[in-house]
């Protein structure tokens, strides 16, 4: 499998994971019109996205299996 294909698959899985957890929590709080929980869950979603971007940057800097640096 090509490196970009593996990275794309990882990115799609990570996005699904974030939306399934933090995205759902944010949606649930917003539907309940709970401003405090909405703000808290927006912060959690923002942090999850930031963590995944940092993880993606570190993964892209690693050579794929079989590649040389």
The pLDDT value recorded for residue 68 is: 53
The pLDDT value recorded for residue 1 is: 45
> How many CA atoms within 13 Å lie on the side-chain side of 69?
3
Q: What is the CA radius of gyration of the chain?
A: 16
The pLDDT value recorded for residue 69 is: 46
CB of 53 closer than 8 Å to CB of 11: no
Q: What is the pLDDT of residues 12-30, one digit of tens each?
A: 999 999 999 999 999 999 9
The pLDDT value recorded for residue 4 is: 83
Coil/strand/helix, residue 26 = helix
Give the position of tokens 């019109």.
33
Residues of the chain falling short of pLDDT 50: 1, 69
The pLDDT value recorded for residue 59 is: 82
What sign results for the dihedral spanned by CA atoms 17, 19, 20, 21?
positive
- Model pTM score: 0.75
């Amino acid at each position: 499998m090509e490196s970009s294909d593996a990275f794309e698959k990882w990115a799609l899985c990570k996005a699904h994971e974030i939306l399934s957890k933090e995205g759902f929590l944010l949606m649930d709080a917003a539907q309940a019109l709970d401003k405090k929980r909405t703000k808290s869950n927006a912060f959690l979603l923002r942090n999850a996205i930031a963590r995944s971007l940092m993880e993606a940057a570190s993964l892209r800097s690693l050579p794929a299996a079989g590649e040389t640096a």
